[in-house]
């Protein structure tokens, strides 16, 4: 299989100053604006999935990065015919490296967009119902990231990124709000490790999950009063994409723990990009606009069922993310190695 390569650049266009930094210099990306529309994400993803087993696999992130470099980061210029033309050139025998060679900033967009989308597509195994009513394990390549709101539950939203917030101090809204009923099951968008759990006066009961590649920090806030979390969610736990992690509510905006001071029931979710560990809790944090990503993920929602005896929700169909299996194996090997050295 030939993969449409991901390096080089495609159009020379002026761009803002930024640090497209390398390990050799100790520099790293400090700013990302992600405005790829849902329809472009859908089209690129479909091409990636359809060509996965073909002689030439077209990487969706490479396609989007090439367009991002062409537009100078402004996807307001996007037209589906632009992606069609790029794919036609790849299918005619040109390599991605040749196509993007004139573009100075392609490498930046490829790294930035891969930081956003790197865990969204891949192979996974899942139990699915068959025509005879039985469940059967199937292995697939495709979208393995989920909408944060479970299947069967409604929500409303609008693009509220960078809207003004005044509680505590004047600041920008660095996330995306999904208006939904209290108790709505909230699921993990991507597999990862629970890094933060507990009360925060701004986010109320909240969960922070780090993607297994370390590039994305998912933040889920304003969870339900009294019973905000699923019992499987503990600090350090490894969570799979689509697992129920908690329940929507309106906690927060108070220094008093477990207080409902948010006026509208909703889930606040955010993605922070991390190119260097100093960015995680430092002054150079990168949060992205999730409006288009939310629309894109709406097509892929986790089916859940309620266990009446314990009043908790669980995913309906068993799921195995190979990246989780690999992560746990690596952790076990590291633990064994460290134990042997002691």
264: in domain: yes
| Count of the separate structural domains present in the chain | 2
Question: Concatenated DSSP letters for 307-337?
Answer: ETTTTEEEESS-EE-HHHHHHHHHHHHHHHH
Q: Indicate if the pLDDT at residue 110 is higher than 60.
A: yes
- Mean pLDDT, to the nearest integer, of 81-92? 96
pLDDT band at 340 (very low <50, low <70, confident <90, very high): confident
| Continuous segment of H or E residues that includes residue 196 | strand 192-200
The boundaries of the domain holding residue 302 are 164-321
149: in domain: no
Chain-centroid distance of CA 103 in Å reads 27
pLDDT at 20: 38
Q: Indicate if the pLDDT at residue 15 is higher than 60.
A: no
326: in domain: no
Other Cβ atoms within 10 Å of 96 Cβ, number: 25
Q: Indicate if the pLDDT at residue 4 is higher than 90.
A: no
pLDDT at 284: 87
pLDDT at 166: 67
CATH number for the domain spanning 268: value is 2.70.70.10
Strands 2-3 vs 56-57: parallel, antiparallel or unpaired:
parallel
pLDDT band at 337 (very low <50, low <70, confident <90, very high): confident
How far is CA 140 from each of CA 50, 52, 76, 187, rounded to the nearest angstrom?
Answer: 12, 11, 33, 21
Q: Are residues 178 and 298 in the same domain?
A: yes
Give the mean pLDDT of the chain: 90
145: in domain: no
How far is CA 273 from each of CA 130, 182, 284, rounded to the nearest angstrom?
Answer: 39, 29, 10
pLDDT at 10: 27
148: in domain: no
Comparison of pLDDT for 139 and 162, the residue scoring more: 139
Q: Indicate if the pLDDT at residue 2 is higher than 70.
A: no
How far is CA 324 from each of CA 82, 210, 277, 283, rounded to the nearest angstrom?
Answer: 36, 12, 21, 30
Q: Of 43-52, 144-153, 165-174, 213-222, where does mean pLDDT reach its minimum?
A: 165-174
- Mean pLDDT, to the nearest integer, of 148-161? 94
- Mean pLDDT, to the nearest integer, of 291-297? 97
Q: Are residues 97 and 168 in the same domain?
A: no
Q: How many residues does the chain have?
A: 342
Please report how many Cα atoms fall inside a 13 Å half-sphere around the Cα of residue 191, on the Cβ side.
23
Q: Are residues 178 and 315 in the same domain?
A: yes
pLDDT at 1: 40
307: in domain: yes
- Mean pLDDT, to the nearest integer, of 221-233? 98
Q: CB under 8 Å to 159, separation ≥6 — which residues? A: 289, 291
Q: Indicate if the pLDDT at residue 305 is higher than 80.
A: yes
Q: Are the C-beta atoms of residues 62 and 9 closer than 8 Å to each other? A: no
Q: CB under 8 Å to 127, separation ≥6 — which residues? A: 135, 136, 137, 138, 317, 318, 319
Q: Are the C-beta atoms of residues 314 and 185 closer than 8 Å to each other? A: no
Contacts 24+ apart (CB under 8 A), 260-263: 260/225, 261/204, 262/204, 262/222
């Amino acid at each position: 299989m030939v993969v449409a390569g991901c390096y080089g650049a495609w159009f020379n266009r002026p761009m803002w100053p930024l640090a497209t930094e390398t390990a050799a210099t100790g520099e790293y990306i400090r700013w990302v604006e992600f405005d790829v529309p849902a329809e472009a994400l859908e089209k690129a993803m479909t091409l990636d999935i359809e060509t996965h087993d073909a002689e030439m696999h077209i990487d969706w992130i490479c396609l989007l990065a090439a367009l991002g470099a062409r537009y100078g980061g402004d996807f307001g210029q996007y037209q589906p015919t632009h992606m069609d033309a790029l794919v036609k050139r790849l299918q005619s025998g040109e390599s991605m490296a040749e196509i993007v060679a004139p573009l100075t900033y392609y490498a930046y967009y490829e790294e930035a967009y891969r930081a956003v989308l790197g865990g969204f597509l891949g192979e996974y195994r899942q139990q699915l119902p068959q025509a005879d009513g039985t469940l059967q394990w199937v292995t697939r390549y495709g979208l393995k990231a989920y909408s944060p709101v479970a299947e069967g539950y409604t929500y409303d939203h609008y693009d509220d990124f960078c809207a003004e917030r005044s509680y505590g101090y004047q600041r920008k809204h660095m996330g995306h709000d999904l208006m939904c009923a209290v108790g709505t099951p909230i699921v993990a968008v991507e597999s990862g490790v629970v890094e933060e759990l507990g009360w925060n006066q701004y986010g109320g009961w909240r969960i922070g999950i780090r993607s297994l590649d370390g590039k994305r920090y998912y933040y889920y806030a304003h969870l339900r009063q009294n019973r905000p979390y699923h019992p499987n969610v503990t600090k350090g736990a490894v969570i799979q994409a689509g697992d129920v992690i908690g329940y929507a509510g309106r906690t927060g905006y108070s220094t008093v723990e477990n207080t409902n001071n948010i006026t509208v029931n909703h889930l606040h979710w955010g993605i922070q990009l991390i190119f260097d560990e100093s960015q995680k809790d430092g002054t150079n944090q990168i949060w992205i606009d999730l409006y288009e990503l939310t629309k894109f993920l709406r097509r892929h929602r986790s089916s859940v069922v309620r266990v009446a005896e314990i009043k908790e929700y669980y995913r309906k169909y068993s799921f195995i993310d190979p990246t989780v299996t690999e992560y746990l194996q690596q952790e076990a090997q590291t633990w064994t190695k460290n134990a042997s050295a002691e």
